[in-house]
Structure 1
């Protein structure tokens, strides 16, 4: 049994209950609504062929090799499937399948293997293991743009030597990479895409980190914002809110989760893009899913630990920038200290200098004042889990797990553990 993922509004869940078998379940009322079986392969059924190790674009906790990438389009009959189990050629082919008619609508071939697919009612974005993103108009499957993350990175640092850009790009692509780029697409018609981008420290231009975020307008095919160095390490997990206004990220350590404004709103303050910082825990872990609810009131995270954390986004708590002192405040503190000395004052330091020292010392302590979760779910970390926030029931959390269970939890009214209200079996 393998729990794969929920669709965008958590009305359906995709699981692999057995080898060669993938099932789609309705969440409410709970029940199987479709099944793809690869047990008997023939020429008329190749469009629906799925093999034994079925996974989704979301990286699974046991780090098995993903043989399939699957993405549903809300609760419609449209499903995108990339089959990696039939060899390199098949791994480069994306099939758009109508699950009701059990037929393939179209097939799209790519130059490299597919690692991720995201889509909404306007756009479909495909990420390849060559670090390229292909953007399609989903209404006619027309290719609108191709984004090469490495070419874009090297163009930023050098525009005078194109041959050097190409050679360095080829060299970097040939090297083993521990982290892979992540991307997330908003569910609404604005179709805001966020994806992790490479950057190099100034003191070490030959090193690369996936810790920048590009905010991209896929309707108008133009980048609209860049969030630089959102973590010290690589971005391991990413989620975007339904309306595209917020992006959540987690680093490869998995201890800190940050939420940023994407900049699509008119009142966006470019000097303060960071909205929230949360501490998941003190021990590093691998986070493989972040998820917002429909109205961006909560953010959930799932990793290879024994707890699923849910964070409050309603605005309770201090702004993450409150512990910092900007340049103007520092200059003002210095000026007032100088005035005090010119008047012959020999007592205690000025209040501004005292505040500065307090804030600076506090900021040097490693995130002890970051907000913790307001709700959590205790789990058995031996299994893999996926999480969904249903649009119809904003006070509930859906959990599907590799032990063959579908569970419904209720969020607490105060900080504490979620309450289990229903359990069903994937059969």
Structure 2
């Protein structure tokens, strides 16, 4: 039974196959013809979509909702909604003074969209909860702190560490409250989703955030549920300190070499999940590409303490056939290996003209992202870099290239970008998976004028 397979894997027991957990997110709505906004705000449409995921994709485990803005919205953030993506945070209520929300601001089970989510969780639990492991996803404390504080949060880490500890401590209490609501609604696993951890130095995580994360995972454990720590972006340097927060599992995306990361997680006896590429394979690849990726992964990695999943929330319009091919490769690996034994992937030859960086009349700042509309780390990278426009106006030029666009993928490859998000100035890498402070940004750009 799929549920037992996931739970045993997260408990580090020996199992006879690798579990499959699709992070279907707003893609669940795509299966039923609903927009992202509809599936994230209408309980009946969300429930219908989740039942479709369960029917078509036969998951061993699955999340109920993948939206890191539920808590932020309740805390006063204004959201920008999209038809094919989760909403993004547009305003930051604590962007002014160094202020921490009072404990009375911790969301109640009756606030915002929480009642809708809890109702759907209970309905899904009753319908398929005996056979499928159910994930409740909460916004991690660092990402939530950046939602309510804004891009200034990254400067705060350097300039006001005591304030940051207090703010993240509050956000950890929000995580605890949300985790409690979701566990009481029947969730087997609580995933603390904190994409911005990849943008924070391991030293800062250890000194400022280690204890709050440990408290969150301890709370989840004390209530009899299992836990996962989700991260996006190149969190390779952060994996070891993430392990020390004591989750049952860690889930990563394609920016991280899962083979090397698993060597670290295995030292801590932590399950690792991931990391099917979201765009190049799931969205833009074909069935053979997806089959080959899975077979190659399974052939080159030790299966104990392993869950296979997309690298993060699946793009809205991933072809159903591609996901089905992925499932076949996971569940019928030997048969699929024979089907693709002579298959060679072919890269699309999309011509890309790079600027002549030596003759530019003003600094060109190029931001390479997964997609700032859907990736929180990318959102705050773009917002941080756009401060250069506020400072220098039309004396600089800023462009974003998204890995959800085929032409931009080709450009990213031609530039040799290794990690997303990354920022280049005049064709030279300046920041890789690190969001600069406003002061550093202005100093660096100013030298290019």
TM-score above 0.5: no
TM-score, length of structure 1 as denominator length: 0.28
Structure with more strand by fraction: 1
With a CA cutoff of 8 Å and minimum separation of 6, indicate the structure with the bigger relative contact order: 2
Larger-gyration structure (1/2): 1
Structure with more helix by fraction: 2
